[in-house]
Amino acid sequence: MQRTLYRKLVDSHTVATIDAQHILLYADFHIMNEYTSPQAFTGLKDKGRPVLRPSQHMAVVSHIIPSDPDRVGERVINDPSSSLLAINLRRNCEQFGIRLFDTNDPDQGIEHIIAPERGYVRPGMVILCGDSHTTTYGALGALGFGIGTSEVEHVLATQTLVYRIAGSMRIRIDGALPPGVSVKDLTLYVIATIGAQGARGFAVEFCGSTIDALSVEARMTLCNMAVEAGARAALIAPDETTRHYIAEHVASAVDAERGGVPQAAWDDLRSDDGAVFDVEHSLLASDVAPFVTWGTSPDQGIPITGLIPSAEEGDSATRALNYMGLKGGDSLCGTPIDRVFIGSCTNSRIEDLRAAAAIVGSNKVAPGVRAMVVPGSGAVRRQAEEEGLAKVFIDAGFEWRQPGCSMCLAMNNDILEPGERCASTTNRNFEGRQGREGRTHLMSPQMAAAAAIVGAICDVRNFGEQHG
Ligand SMILES: CC(C)[C@H](C(=O)O)[C@@H](O)C(=O)O
Ligand code: SF4
């Protein structure tokens, strides 16, 4: 029987079958943040249960930590309730013997940036985290998905999870991305094409020559946002690109052979020829242009050359347009922005910062625009400083900040003022996501960098002619 990659990963981690739809799934690794773990630890303590395998968990303070450039010392977090979350996580990790990337750890950062970077994510693994963007790890051929707080407790206690098997979807994308078009544009295009619920209930496997040509970091951007189309997981079969990434990242961090599938068996980590998917889509990279969202859902995006769709009175697009202060039939090009945010687990890796810095060059941030770059981890920040990228940003007038989720979700000091419009490399543009009444336009790091210089949303492909 031919099996999909998803099915192989599920089968190899099935501890017991519960019924036709449910299994007990083994988790090779589990990641926690300060925000979704406290009740789980309280539950364990109340029941007097230990953590079964402490070495198969890690924790990080990422959501509530301020990104101030001079963040140091004990008082990195001034807000008392946020500070308490960090203190609790530290106590819990100490008590249960779990590796914590604490507030002052040189490698602290966003969970989904540091887990692969530190070598914890390897092909063939099942990786869980109380966070929806755990789908990111599919970029390395690992089955990753977000879990709820009560499930976090179960995973800590048993290293397993009661799991409902997902449907299978394959999205094939072929051809070369046109010049000036990045994987973020491709991602927003895929979501706009299939819709915010388009992959709901499915584990999505991405394949095709476009995917083959992507770096692992680019694949992470795509898999990260698959959840914005409703996907329960995203997967890309490991290949030579994956091998190189693993060789670079695992040796320095954790034992390559601990957990996961030995390299010799990676060849089997792919869907068999003839494996049947419940749903298949086929897309062409040549159809993709730089993409920007105009609304309040990640699927409300258009190519920068397109027009904002006209809305019918009373439909959800009308509400979105009102919230965003935009009109149907207009172009997004030339829409002035107040803020630029380059960061988040979607786009704060070194390749993202390189791409943004290449656009910035020797230009300056437009007067009146507040622009910030928030690297995804301490390691990304150090590397960007070594490569001179930080200097490019600082000289241009960007704020060069400390790692964390930052203005991706405004759970810390980084927040939009009501009515402010932001060019953002993040993954969610919901109402209030970056601050009450804040207006978020999702786009690539290149497009956000160009917007910072121009002071308005623009087509990065024309940017070089004026600012090269
Ligand atoms: C805080 C956390 C539960 C949440 C998630 O699950 O994704 C956050 O990371 C987000 O991006 O909205
Ligand atoms: S960077 Fe944003 S999307 Fe990613 S984990 Fe943090 S809040 Fe969630």
Residue at 60 is within a domain = yes
Q: What would the mean pLDDT of 6-22 be, rounded to a whole number?
A: 97
130 CA from centroid of ligand 1 (Å): 8
Task: Identify whether residues 257 and 298 lie together within a single domain.
Answer: no
Query: Is residue 238 a contact partner of residue 140, using CB atoms and an 8 Å limit?
Result: yes
In a domain, 55, yes or no: yes
Range of the domain at 14: 5-281
**Model confidence pLDDT, tens digit, residues 352-377:** 999 999 999 999 999 999 999 999 99
End-to-end CA distance of the chain, in Å? 56
> Is 204:237 a contact under the CB 8 Å cutoff?
no
Query: Does the beta carbon of 110 lie inside 6 Å of ligand 2?
Result: yes
Both 232 and 87 in a single domain?
A: yes
DSSP-assigned letter for residue 19: S
Expressed in angstroms and rounded, the spacing between residue 124 Cα and the centre of ligand 2 is 24
pLDDT band at 225 (very low <50, low <70, confident <90, very high): very high
Kindly report the average pLDDT of the chain as a whole number. Answer: 95
Question: Does residue 303 fall inside a structural domain?
Answer: yes
Does 67 score more than 50 pLDDT?
yes
Same domain, 242 and 347: no
- Which residues are CB-neighbours of 153 under 8 A, at least 6 positions away? 39, 40, 41, 43, 44
Report the side by side order of strands in the sheet with 421-424: 399-400, 370-373, 339-342, 421-424, 439-442
CATH of the domain at 193: 3.30.499.10
- For the chain, what is the radius of gyration of the CA atoms? 21
* 462 CA distance to ligand 1 middle (Å): 35
- The pLDDT, as a whole number, for residue 11 is 97
Q: In this structure, are 196 and 342 located in the same domain?
A: no
Partners of residue 99 on adjacent β-strands: 58
Assess if residue 177 is contained within a domain. yes
**Beta carbon of 63 within 6 Å of any ligand 2 atom:** yes
Query: Which residue among 32, 65, 112 has the greatest number of ligand 2 atoms within 8 angstroms of its CB, and so is best to mutate?
Result: 112
The number of the ligand nearest the C-alpha atom of 409 reads 2
Q: Cα–Cα distance between 293 and 188 in angstroms, integer?
A: 8
> Is the C-beta atom of 432 inside 6 A of ligand 1?
no
- Check whether residue 129 and residue 215 sit in a common domain: yes
**Are 52 and 159 within 8 A, CB to CB?**
yes
* One domain for residues 267 and 326: no
| Closest atom of ligand 2 to CA, residue 411 | 7
Residue 406 near ligand 2, beta carbon < 6 Å: no
Is residue 252 predicted with pLDDT exceeding 70?
A: no
| CB of residue 405 inside a 6 A radius of ligand 2 | yes
Q: Residues 270, 415: one domain? A: no
Is the CB–ligand 1 distance for residue 131 below 6 Å? yes
Let me know how long the chain is.
468
The predicted structure's pLDDT at residue 70: 85
- The answer on 178 and 60 residing in a single domain is yes
> Which of 61, 132, 149, 406 to mutate for ligand 1's pocket (most ligand atoms within 8 Å of CB)?
132
Same domain, 219 and 147: yes
Q: What is the pTM of this model?
A: 0.97
Q: What pLDDT sits at residue 256? A: 45
The reply to whether 286 falls in a domain is no
The string of DSSP codes covering 284-301 is EGGG---EEE-SSSTT-E
Q: What is the pLDDT of residues 97-126, one digit of tens each?
A: 999 999 999 999 999 999 999 999 999 999
Residue 169: predicted pLDDT: 98
Tens of pLDDT, residue by residue over 137-169, are: 999 999 999 999 999 999 999 999 999 999 999
* Any ligand 1 atom below 6 A from CB of 112: no
Which of 281, 313, 334 is where one domain is finished? 281
Over residues 217-226, mean pLDDT: 98
E strands along 219-329, which residues? Answer: 233-235, 279-284, 291-293, 301-303
CB of 207 sitting under 6 A from ligand 2: no
Tell me the one-letter amino acid at 61: V
Tell me, rounded to whole angstroms, the distance of Cα 126 from its chain centroid. Answer: 17
For helices 350-360 and 445-454, the axis angle rounded to 10 degrees is 30
Whether 414 is covered by a domain: the verdict is: yes
> What is the predicted pLDDT for the residue at 257?
45
Within this chain, do residues 189 and 302 fall inside the same structural domain, yes or no? no
Does 148 share its domain with 97? yes
% of the chain surpassing 90 pLDDT: 90
Same structural domain, 101 and 228: yes
State the total domains in the chain: 2
Which DSSP string do the residues of 330-382 spell out, in sequence order? -BSTT-B-SEEEE-TTTS-SHHHHHHHHHHHTT--PPTT-EEEE--SBHHHHH
